[in-house]
Homo-oligomer: A and B are copies of this chain.
Amino acid sequence: MKNFYYPQKVAVIGVSQNPTNLGRGIILNLRQAGYTGKIYPVGPRGGEIYGLRIYQHLRDLPEKVDLAAVLTPARFVPQVVADCGDLGITRVVVESGGFSELGEQGRELEKEIIRLIDRYNLRLIGPNGLGLINMEIGLSLPFSQLAPVPRRGNISVIAQSGGVGMHRIAWMTKEGLGLNKFLSLGNKLNVKENEALAYFLEDPGTEMIYLYLEGLEDGRGLLEVAKRATKPIFLQMPNVVPETSKIALSHTASLATDEKAVDAACRQGNIFRVLRQSDFLNAAKMVGQPPVKGNRLVILSRSGGEAVVGAYACKRYGFTLPPLAPALADFIHERSRSKIIKPGNPIDLGDIFDFQVYSQVMDHLCQDPEVDAVLLNYGPVYDPERAEARAMAQHLIKRSRESGKPLAISVCATLEEEDFFREDLGVPTFHFPGDAVRALSYSRDFALRPDPDDPGTDEPDFDEQEIAELLRTAAGNGFLPMPLALSLIEAAGIPVARWLAAANSEEALKAASQLGFPVVLKLAAPSLLHKTEAGGVILNLNDLPAVVAAYRRLAGLAAQHLPPGEAWEVVVMKQVSGGEEVLLGAQRDEAFGPLVACGAGGILTEILEDVALRVAPISRQEARKQILETRIGRILQGVRGRPAADLEALSRALAILSHLVDRFPQIKEVDLNPVRVFAGEEGISALDARIRLG
């Protein structure tokens, strides 16, 4: 990747003197961004552009270039790529559109390009994108004009849609944020997001990464890269609902992925998911600031109102406002005009007109290890005091930098003042106190992020061979017969309530006697998915006559409701009582592969929407975190007089399930619902199991 970003000689192919030629735009952007290397425009009609000769063919160039940017009509692109290969140019950026996003013909062109990439061992970005930018050397390859020219800074951007990328960069510039590198992925024939992300994570110029994606090439790979990240990653991934799917498909040939899976992966990979653009723009303002290493914030405010707004935001975003150190409180008290109010946090300096006091307060705060960050609500400021107020702000910024105490400034004054802060001081400048607190919270969440889970440290010891053999006995794809599903779960090491299969009523009686009363009878048949609703589960059988009657009822049900000829049997299960019902489940996502789920069990699963997901596999520790994300998980911890449930056993089962579906890709779906979780260390018991192969 580095060779893409630091070329010393660049050819731009598809340039003409025609004023509507788009290739001109690339030359202009390179010029305006101050590219430090050599530029060679190429176009069949030759001529001159911005004082540079347009060569008619790549081979006419006086020297070999390091990178070729291509913007010819799609049908010519394969030939240009072949030319690059012949000339030993190994980095090619194709901006032309007209490929798979337009259908079959374009797909054929892409296949041809892929063959050329393989033949010449090239690396290629695009097609159907805006190429790349590296502000460190003024390398700006988009054909659409960057207005304003981006600031140089430490944020790097990967965007699947060039248009979205350009627009976001313009807003970064407007908000005073500096760009380091940009990549427009386009149709991702060769260079894809994970490789680019990994490069930016290593790149010394990049401190934060913004990722706009419409489809995931390899979600698990993304998660693995993100888990190793030591820089914050912000992901905007809007193509996660049916509404977006069709348009993304026609735009960048991307399939939708599941919103909940994206959220789960973001949680596991410490990725911040961007739901509002302003969240990213605010968070990005903390780049280059010392990290916020805790929850304790002090707000310094001249406007009492903005102090209230800031304090409310603290509550929303999980900051506390610790009381001031006594020495500081005394210091402020002595300088207050009214001398009535005991200074608290937020510090309302509304009645102190001496800006020296602000600076001295900041000096105190910078030395206080009990303060994790400072928010200054700057303003309102009256004309005669402007110069002094600005000097005060500059002093605060200086002190913050010297002492490593994070400082965010919300400019609650005229907009002119805000411009001064952003343009002249280059500090994190926020429009409203709430935005500042939100940004501080991102910095804190990144600084305090948990270590990523390593599921390999905690592999369950189930016998893979035994499970493989059980799977081989399955007749094919589709749902496993219930007895087989229960056996498989048991073999993996997840406790199941004691059960026996019965092919007739005699066997049922025998089974019941063997298990001991009370028992439950369940009708097991492939076409019967919702047993409870169908009446296929009969509870509270306390003696043999009841078992016989129940067996008959199930037989009747089978005769009436199952398709003719469908085989069925009955599972006799020991009825267990006590505990809470949860569900454990697994499914497969197009992008992320196997996922595991846990949540409130029984028939209320859907209505409570109380489910947490993880990309499998996970360790027991991660499983416990997952469980505690749900409401039922918090109930299991023990509430108001209820004993705590056996979370350890439940976490273990969830981790096992995650490894099971990871190692056996033929398992498409698992549903253990309900699983009873007992108090103390009394374990768990799965009462039902559905497993679908595919």
Chain A interface (Cβ < 8 Å from any Cβ of B) = 19-20, 22, 25, 97-98, 101-104, 144-145, 147-148, 159-167, 170-171, 173-174, 212, 214, 236, 238-241, 243-244, 246-248, 250-252, 275-278, 302-309, 311-316, 321, 338, 340-341, 344, 346, 348, 350-351, 379-380, 382-384, 412-416, 431-432, 434-435, 532-533, 603-604, 606-608, 631, 634-635, 639-642
Contact = CB atoms under 8 A, between A and B. Distances in A.
A539 to B, nearest CB: 15
A169 to B, nearest CB: 11
Given A171-B431, A382-B22, A608-B631, A147 B414 contact: yes
A164 B305 contact: yes
Given A384-B19, A412-B163, A604 B635 contact: yes
Contacts of A240: 312
Nearest to A148: B415
A238 B306 CA distance: 10
Given A163-B379, A240-B312, A243-B321, A251 B414 contact: no
B305 A348 contact: no
Given A102-B340, A382-B22, A348 B304 contact: no
A170 B635 CA distance: 48
From A238, A247, A379, residue with most partner B Cβ within 10 Å: A247
A181 to B, nearest CB: 19
A250 B304 contact: yes
Contacts of A170: 414-415
A348 B167 CA distance: 17
Contacts of A173: 415
A304 B165 CA distance: 12
12 contacts: A102-B340, A161-B303, A163-B303, A163-B379, A171-B415, A246-B344, A247-B307, A247-B308, A247-B346, A252-B304, A252-B305, A607-B631
A144 B533 contact: no
Contacts of A379: 163, 167
A312 B239 contact: yes
A382 B476 CA distance: 57
B340 A103 contact: yes
Given A238-B309, A311-B238, A304 B147 contact: no
A479 to B, nearest CB: 19
Given A167-B380, A276-B434, A604-B639, A161 B243 contact: no
A174 B604 CA distance: 49
B251 A308 contact: yes
Give this chain's copy count: 2
B308 A161 contact: yes
Contacts of A312: 238-241, 243-244
Given A238-B311, A312-B244, A167 B412 contact: yes
A144 B308 contact: no
Contact of A344 (B247, B305, B604): B247
A443 to B, nearest CB: 19
A241 B305 contact: no
Given A171-B431, A414-B147, A341 B303 contact: no
Contacts of A431: 171, 277
B308 A244 contact: yes
A304 B161 contact: yes
A305 B214 contact: yes
A350 B102 CA distance: 11
Contacts of A248: 304, 308
A302 B97 CA distance: 14
A251 B163 contact: no
Top-3 shortest CB links A-B: A161-B305, A251-B304, A163-B303
Contact of A247 (B236, B311, B384, B412): B311
Contacts of A642: 603
A308 B214 contact: yes
A170 B170 CA distance: 23
A583 to B, nearest CB: 14
B432 A277 contact: yes
Given A305-B160, A351-B102, A243 B412 contact: no
A25 B382 contact: yes
B306 A167 contact: yes
Nearest to A24: B383
A639 B19 contact: no
Nearest to A381: B144
Contacts of A414: 145, 147-148, 170
Contacts of A639: 603-604, 606-607
B164 A416 contact: no
Contact of A338 (B103, B144, B165, B635): B103
Contacts of A532: 641
A174 B413 CA distance: 13
Nearest to A25: B382
B344 A164 contact: no
B314 A147 contact: no
Nearest to A171: B431
A246 B239 CA distance: 45
A533 B640 contact: yes
Given A305-B163, A607-B634, A634-B607, A315 B241 contact: yes
Contacts of A102: 338, 340-341, 351
A373 B247 CA distance: 19
Nearest to A309: B238
Nearest to A417: B147
Contacts of A303: 161, 163-164, 167
Given A241-B311, A247-B311, 7 more contacts: A102-B351, A214-B308, A247-B307, A250-B304, A252-B304, A533-B640, A606-B640
Contacts of A416: 147
A66 B50 CA distance: 67
A432 B171 CA distance: 10
From A161, A248, A250, A603, residue with most partner B Cβ within 10 Å: A250
